[in-house]
Amino acid sequence: MLIDLHVHTNRYSSCGNSTPEEMAQSALEHGLDGIVLTEHNVTWPPDELAELRASFPKLLILSGIELTSDEGDDYLVLGISPQSWFAPRLPAEEIVGHSQRLGGVVILAHPYRYRDQVPETLATCPVDGIEVASCNMHGAASDGAARLVQALGVFPVWNSDAHHRRDVGLYANTVPGRINNEEQLATVLASRKACPHADAARITAVNAAWRRHLPTIRQLIAQGVDDADIRAAVSTRVGYSDLYAIRNGLEVQRPLPPWQPE
């Protein structure tokens, strides 16, 4: 099965740009077998999730969450049902510890996007996996994340982190067998049997767009234009993390398989 483990919608993520139905339809159009809805600091109500599933019977739609810690780091919690203790700005130790005790897996989402450090708690309260690539990670962040996977001995995942329908499935993960629920997903991920997948044609197109627009972006930066106005002026998918990378002389291009960190 091909599953994107990190997807947002405009129903429960204020930064989402597409409806749940648009995201689900895009997943089918791009050959995905399943998606995990990981809204920011909130899980989908069971009745609404059931309704969405009924509308897309050919797509596995699972519930997850992206929790932001008190230090501002983001963690994907997968494989467990909604919990009453889920809340924004919890200590990382609480996010990781509670989730793992309940049988879930915890993945550090998009590390190195805006800084060259990772949470100190990784040493004392280790996560299960690291997100290595997404449409919201510049190339330098992916390199750092891949090295972190090697250093910690955890499993890597590649996800779209899609906030718009065009990005669903840009990166995803292949898992063996048939997944039917959140608990089975956690078991497969913990067994380290998931393999990264990248939509090479779409990523190549994204990288080509970057090469075309990079001179303009650098010129706007040199002129003192702020990030919000640069994003409005450039007709490609440029994120704040990408502008951070450009301003700091870091690699922006998204990785393509086969790929090894520099």
DSSP annotation string for the chain: -EEEEEE--TTT-TT--S-HHHHHHHHHHTT-SEEEE--BT----HHHHHHHHHH-TTSEEEEEEEEEBTTS-EEEEESS---TT--TTB-HHHHHHHHHHTT-EEEE-STTSS-S---GGGTTS--SEEEEE-TTS-HHHHHHHHHHHHHHT-EEEE---BSSGGGTTSEEEE-SS---SHHHHHHHHHTT--EEEE-HHHHHHHHHHHHHHHHHHHHHHHTT--HHHHHHH-SS---HHHHHHHHTT---SPP-SS----
- Residue 262: the pLDDT is 64
- Residue 126: the pLDDT is 95
The pLDDT of 68-84, averaged and rounded, is 92
> pLDDT exceeding 90 applies to what percent of the chain?
87
- Residue 21: the pLDDT is 99
> With bands split at pLDDT 50, 70 and 90, how would you rate the model's confidence at 260?
low
How many angstroms separate the CA atoms of 220 and 214, rounded? Answer: 10
Q: Report domain extents, the chain.
A: 2-201, 205-247
Say whether 181 sits in a helix, a strand or coil. Answer: coil
58 phi and psi, to 5 degrees?
Answer: -90, 0
The residues, any chain, with a CB within 8 Å of residue 191's CB and separated by 6 or more, are none
Q: List pLDDT tens digits, range 39-75.
A: 999 999 999 999 999 999 999 999 999 999 999 999 9
β-strands 155-158, 171-174 pairing: unpaired
Distances (CA, A) of 201 to 131, 140, 156, 170, 256: 21, 21, 22, 9, 10
> What is the average pLDDT value for the chain, to the nearest integer?
94
- Residue 256: the pLDDT is 85
How many angstroms separate the CA atoms of 62 and 163, rounded? Answer: 17
pLDDT at residue 259 tops 70: no
pTM of the model: 0.94
The pLDDT of 177-196, averaged and rounded, is 95
- Residue 113: the pLDDT is 94
> With bands split at pLDDT 50, 70 and 90, how would you rate the model's confidence at 102?
very high
Of residues 125 and 236, more confidently modeled: 125
The CATH number of domain 2-201, selected from 3.40.50.1820, 3.40.50.720, 3.20.20.140, 3.90.245.10: 3.20.20.140
How many angstroms separate the CA atoms of 15 and 32, rounded? Answer: 23
Q: List pLDDT tens digits, range 123-143.
A: 888 999 999 999 999 999 999
- Residue 238: the pLDDT is 87
How many angstroms separate the CA atoms of 27 and 19, rounded? Answer: 12
Q: Where are the beta strands (DSSP E) in 79-198?
A: 105-108, 129-133, 155-158, 171-174, 195-198
